Amino acid sequence: MKNAGAISWSEVDSREAALIERCTAGDETACADLVAAHQRMVYGLAYNLLGDGDEALDVSQEVFLRVFRTLSQFRGRSALRTWIYRIVVNQVRNRQRWWRRRHRSDVVSLDEHLRHFGDVEAKREVLPDRLLASKETASRIWDAMDRLPFDQRTALVLREVDGLKYEEIAYSLDIAVGTVKSRLTRARQSLRAELLGLRP
């Protein structure tokens, strides 16, 4: 089994190391730079996992507070970005547990998504022709994605949206690389089954 924490120290370049050092020393400009460099990525991942803009924003703030609280413990076993991903995943998981305790659904419907962020048709320029051939195809995939178990959805988002390698996903989720592969396989099989169901 390949170790999830086997990413080398070279993942942290000197510029990033200097930024981390300044942040831990209490330099507010460095802290601002760190937030600016990663806030879009943090918010995007939180949104993709939670499916709710307000919750994602709230979690993003918690993530950065956590980052600054624990930055002195960062040992460079991964890139700073991967380390932050790990915190995002943990924070989102905690938030979902909190939701479940209050019997709140963690699935956001496409209608709600469109109400918040506009109709997909309005974003025609970012959609490839084949996907646009059927709006129903896209919506069915998104719905199926929201129904995936949290662990599978997280692995798929980290791979497809954030472009993380298997090793980085393993570190972010604190699991083995083999587990990452099996989760991706199961997630893709579920979504493909949805896709095949649409075909005549």
| Residues 50/92, Cβ–Cβ less than 8 Å | yes
Alpha-carbon distance values, 5 to 45, 90, 110, 185 (Å): 21, 16, 37, 22
> Is 131 one of the binding residues for another protein (CB under 8 A)?
yes
> Is 65 one of the binding residues for another protein (CB under 8 A)?
yes
Annotate each residue in 137-156 with x if it binds another protein (CB under 8 A) or - if it does not, as one string.
xx--xx--x----------x
Q: Is 79 helix (H, G, I), strand (E, B) or coil?
A: coil
Computed on alpha carbons and rounded to an integer, the radius of gyration of the chain in Å comes to 18
Residue among 169, 167, 171 nearest 187 (CA): 169
Pick the stretch among 1-9, 11-19, 33-41, 95-103 that binds another protein (CB under 8 A).
33-41
In angstroms, what is the minimal distance from the CB of 16 to another protein?
18
Contact footprint for another protein (CB under 8 A): 26, 28, 31-32, 35-36, 39-40, 43-44, 47-48, 53, 57, 60-61, 64-65, 68-69, 113, 116-118, 120, 122-123, 126-128, 130-131, 137-138, 141-142, 145, 156-157, 159-161, 165-166, 181, 184-185, 188, 191-192, 195-196
